Amino acid sequence: MTERNAQKRIGRSRLAPEVYKLLEGIVGSEWISEDRAVVETYSKHSIDPASFLMKHQKDGTNIPACVVLPHTVEQIQSIVRILNRHRIPYSPFTNGQMLCGPTSPAATVFLHLSRMNHILDIDEDNLTITVEPYVDYRQVQAETMKRGLWNGGTPLATSLTKIASQFAFAGIWQTDLKYSNLSRNVVAVEVVLPTGEILRTGSSAISGNKAFHEYGPGPDLHGLLRCSLATTGIVTKITVKLHTWVGDKVLKTPKDRPSLRSWSDPKYDRAELPKNHRLVWIECADLKTQLEVLYRVCHSGIGLGLNSCGVYSAYYCSQTQAMTEKRTLEHFFPAYNAYITMAGITSERQLDYEEKVFRHIVDGVGGSKYYSHEYKPEVLEALAPWNLDFVRNNFGYRMNRRTYAGLWLPLGEIDMAKAHQERWQEALDEFKPLYMTDEGGGKNDTPYVYCVNRGHFAYTETDNYPDPLDPQQLATAIAYMTYGAARMVKDRISGPPLNLPIEPFTTFFPEVGPNTHLFLRKVRGVFDPNSVAAPGRQVFSEEECKHIPEPVSQLFNSMREKVGLEALSTEP
């Protein structure tokens, strides 16, 4: 090897050979690897600009030491016990979307759960389904819809998103007006704790009992496990609620669709609505009109899903990136809009009734037009992918053609969208758009608004699309997210990104709670006394606070000061 090539090589941490052998003895040599070509693939994640930036910086700490693929709960227990005994950090891994990389420079083991992809039980009487951690929403829907049931909503990218991962992360669905999101549909979980012990929640906590109720006996631990980012344990089984499905037993999805960067055919986007379902689009005059419609429809009790999607249709409904750009520049899709999805669960007449109520509300508010064969039929036709995506998201990951690598996703009341729009425009003025679609959600466009649980709350979303080959753009995307968290906390609009405790946000925003970070440190000490379960992902220990990189402290404190909060010292 030449001196020049040697200087280019990025170092990485390795496991002690004896530990590797112990893990190999559990799963077999076929299901463990420390090969550089293998572990490197686990080091860059989808919605994670920092993992891209680390590549530019030639930082190898984001590369796991080895990857192991367990097949059973018992294997996970054995692996975790060995790592706990040797005090080696680990992280479970499913689809690699975000928040799944190593959390320290120490040699880290990834437990890739792809072999645990089985549906364990469908209880048609109690309306539940129990699955292993690698089961995705597509599998659940394919099996339950045959039985006239479904899970009640869809996340971004149905065939990628795992239910167990969403439980440990955010649980966001795109169709969650009627049945709410995943967080409110979990019945029970089984978790392997960082010590290797098993914890079961809900009614299944009683030995031999079925999972039919989410509470008790004893303290309800769901809140500590849900959205814990795998720091309290690895979900090995999860039971969620099922709901009545009146659509086709097999969804009519476009078949044989190629996936080529520069080739498209609109016929592959022409999805038909499932039977007994209806979708109605409106174009609103402005944000005030749009939000008033959303509020009134939520309160009416009609509908399965209710959202406003703004610029996102330019991604979802465009076969190529060039088409996305053209439609964005031409403002082809409406800046302010709403779409309602309805299901005729009780009878066919339910659809007619619900649409009548919807139109009565929209007409009463005024200032909106319905897309139809008479008004902008070309837009209505272009929106056809949503006919399927409201129940099984097929097109959402078109957002990643550019690089979907930064987001604001606060949780609050529906009219939070106004404050979100204003703050996002402030960020656009301060940092400048990284790409034309970043302006979606700014002063001339709605943020994505997800109406949840009959409007009791909503998510609003705006995103960044940096060039992954430009480290400055990646750094700016991180600055956007940090500024957004600071602004939302300062103005008491919402918590840090996704309303989740994620470091460094947990420590740098003690206003949340207040001092949520102090409570979570105590929880961490109980669940993970040896600090092996993705240490520092949810909350830093006092010792870890002493080693926060100076650039990170400078970034967070600069954003705090920019919005009028005091800079913090992270020294205990």
pLDDT tens for residues 123-155? 999 999 999 999 999 999 999 999 999 999 988
Q: Which token pair is 342?
A: 């309805």
The pLDDT value given to residue 4: 45
Average pLDDT of every residue of the chain: 91
Residue extents of the structural domains in the chain: 13-112, 119-244, 266-490, 501-563
In whole angstroms, give the CA distance from residue 64 to residue 106.
9
Using one digit for the tens of pLDDT, what is the confidence trace for 520-542? 999 999 999 999 999 999 999 99
CB 532 within 8 A of CB 90: yes
Q: What pLDDT, on a 0 to 100 scale, did the predictor assign at position 3? A: 45
Q: Where are the alpha helices (DSSP H) in 398-470?
A: 416-431
* Percent of the chain predicted with pLDDT > 70: 96
Q: Which of the 8 DSSP states describes residue 241? A: E
Q: Is-contact 187 163, C-beta < 8 A?
A: no
Please report which confidence band the pLDDT of residue 393 belongs to, taking 50, 70 and 90 as the band edges: confident
CATH 3.40.462.10 is right for the domain spanning 266-490: yes
Q: Does the pLDDT of residue 109 top 60, yes or no?
A: yes
Q: Lowest-pLDDT range, 146-150, 217-221, 544-548?
A: 217-221
Alpha-carbon distance of 470 to 511, in angstroms, equals 34
Question: Which pLDDT does position 116 carry in this prediction?
Answer: 98
Residue 5, pLDDT score? 42
Give the Cα separation of 463 and 407 in Å (integer): 4
Check: CB of residue 210 under 8 Å from CB of residue 188: no
CA atoms within 13 Å, Cβ hemisphere of 146: 6
Q: pLDDT tens-digit profile of 155-172?
A: 877 778 899 988 887 778
Answer yes or no: is pLDDT of 370 > 50.
yes
Mean pLDDT is highest, among 152-166, 173-187, 348-362, 399-413, for 348-362
Per-residue model confidence (pLDDT) at position 7 = 54
pLDDT digits (tens, 9 = 90+) for 451-472: 999 999 999 999 999 999 999 9
225: pLDDT strictly greater than 50: yes
The per-residue pLDDT for 96 is 82
Three-state SS letters, 484-500: HHHHHHHCCCCCCHHHC
Name the more confident of 41 and 222: 41
Question: Between the CA of residue 39 and those of 19, 64, 295, 417, what are the distances in Å?
Answer: 17, 6, 48, 41
Query: What CATH number does domain 13-112 carry, 3.10.290.10, 2.60.120.560, 3.40.50.300, 3.30.43.10?
Result: 3.30.43.10
pLDDT grade for 330, boundaries at 50, 70 and 90:
very high
Distance CA 184, CA 173 (A): 11
Q: Is the pLDDT of residue 392 over 90?
A: no
CATH architecture of 119-244: 2-Layer Sandwich (3.30)
In contact, 544 and 535? CB cutoff 8 Å: yes
Extended beta strands in 94-231, E state: 109-112, 119-123, 128-131, 149-150, 186-192, 198-200
Cα(292)–Cα(418) distance, integer angstroms: 12
**79 or 571, greater pLDDT:** 79
Question: Is the pTM for the entire model greater than 0.85?
Answer: yes
Q: Put the strands of the sheet holding 234-241 in their side by side order.
A: 119-123, 128-131, 234-241, 186-192, 198-200
Gap between the Cα atoms of 168 and 163, Å rounded: 9
